[in-house]
Amino acid sequence: MGRLITLDEFIIKRQKDFPFASGELTALLRDIGLAAKMINREVNRAGLVNIIGLADKQNSSGDKVQKLDLYANDRMIEFLGNSGECCGIASEELEDFIPLPDVESKSAKYVVVFDPLDGSSNIDVNVSVGTIFGIYRRVSDVGTPVTKEDFFQPGKNLVAAGYVTYGTSTILVYTTGKGVNGFTLDPSVGEFFLSHRDIRIPEKAKYYSVNQGYYLKYDFGMRRYIDHCNELNLKLRYIGTMVSDIHRILFQGGVFIYPNMSDYPMGKLRLLYECNPMAMIVEQCGGKATTCQGKRILDAKVTDLHQRTSIAIGSPRMVEDVKSFSEKYKAMTVLE
């Protein structure tokens, strides 16, 4: 067995991979790692303490907000404000972006977007949840307040992205555009250790992942694509936590799709907080991420903080097939 490498040690070793001032990103990723440990502790105690259950309000996307969403959101903001490298954040749980104050007169150059708790409907039933984040270099002048343009950047401008899955173990996966690595939390010492080096998505796919219960709400192309997966005898897995569903696909191959449907004509998942960061990771693993009509997610123009999109993400051949089915049945596409 090789020597154990901690997340902090790994980030510092790989600083040269980062195109800008390296210490800044190191500090940011460390802040996120710390927030993840705090969220992990609370997720693990969810059944024990009186923190689960509805917080009696809705987020700006109209979804029910659970208390753990708010806890996770607060920890992300708190820890990202620590090192002074982040000048603003945008979160799935907040209506608008918020500027973060300077720390020790440092001029922060980065903004961070995140989904603090992904799959929150799974909390009460002890099923895995996640956190997703993306880091952009600001486009407005350093030293001035952040603007919406700092956040309205296409996913291809991300300088780093990652996720944490709070599952049978807690794993943090991140990329700075030079491959993807995963780190497993050892709760007894409170450290993330390198556990999955240079992750590559398998080309041969075993799984497809879609909410098949909505079959009749999808257009014909997506219905026929699902039929095609059935004909291939692919295994269906759908956790209802995007992070966990995609985590499986990264290691075992397959496709995750969340199509446009009658309830969500633009798709349900959020471009900024969910789709762009996961798309960067999957592309870095050798996979693809497009809309269900075949447009690359990372090229999508951002015009709204809470913009939604359809998504097909995973092993490249399968993602290309989604596009082919969409095109073949385009003329028959009417969402009832």
Catalytic residue among 31, 85, 92, 150: 92
Nearest to 52 by CA among 37, 41, 42, 39: 42
| Residues contacting Mn ion: total by CB under 5 A | 4
Least distance to ligand AHG from the beta carbon of 295, Å? 20
| CB 131 to ligand AHG: min, Å | 10
Binding string, 164-203, against Mn ion, x = CB under 5 A? ----------------------------------------
Report how far apart the first and last C-alpha atoms of the chain are (Å, whole number).
56
How are beta strands 207-209 and 254-258 bridged, if at all? parallel
Say how far apart CA 24 and CA 108 lie, in whole Å.
9
Residue 36 interacts, among Mn ion, ligand AHG, none and using kind-specific CB cut-offs from 5 to 8 Å, with none
Let me know if 117 is a catalytic residue: yes
With respect to ligand AHG, which residue has the nearer C-beta, 241 or 326?
Answer: 241
* CA 77 – CA 32 distance, rounded (Å): 10
Cα-Cα-Cα-Cα torsion 210, 214, 220, 226, nearest 10 degrees, comes to 30
Among residues 11 and 72, whose Cβ is nearest to ligand AHG?
72
Helix H or strand E encompassing 290? strand 288-290
Q: Which does 29 bind (CB under 5 to 8 A by kind): Mn ion, ligand AHG, none?
A: none
Tell me, yes or no, if 320 is annotated catalytic: no
Side-chain-side CA neighbours of 208 within 13 Å: the count stands at 22
- Interface with ligand AHG by CB under 6 A: which residues? 63, 92, 115, 118-120, 211, 240-242, 268
Identify residues 106-145 at the interface with Mn ion (CB under 5 A): 115, 117-118
Q: Does 245 bind Mn ion (CB under 5 A)?
A: no
Please state, in angstroms and rounded to a whole number, the distance separating the CA atoms of residues 171 and 193: 9
Please name the residue that has the structure tokens 């710390």: 34
What pairing do the DSSP bridges indicate for beta strands 207-209 and 235-236? parallel
Q: Least separation, in Å, of the C-beta of 241 and Mn ion?
A: 8
Q: Is-contact 33 172, C-beta < 8 A?
A: yes
- With CB under 5 to 8 Å by kind, the binding choice for 219 among Mn ion, ligand AHG, none is none
Catalytic residue among 7, 117, 271, 272: 117
42 binds Mn ion (CB under 5 A): no
Determine the Cα–Cα distance for residues 93 and 20; give it in Å rounded to an integer. Answer: 29
Is residue 85 among the annotated active site residues?
A: no
Shortest Å, Cβ 230 to Mn ion: 27
The type of residue at 283 is: E
| Residues of this chain that bind Mn ion (CB under 5 A) | 92, 115, 117-118
Q: Active-site residues: which are they?
A: 63, 69, 92-93, 115, 117-118, 274
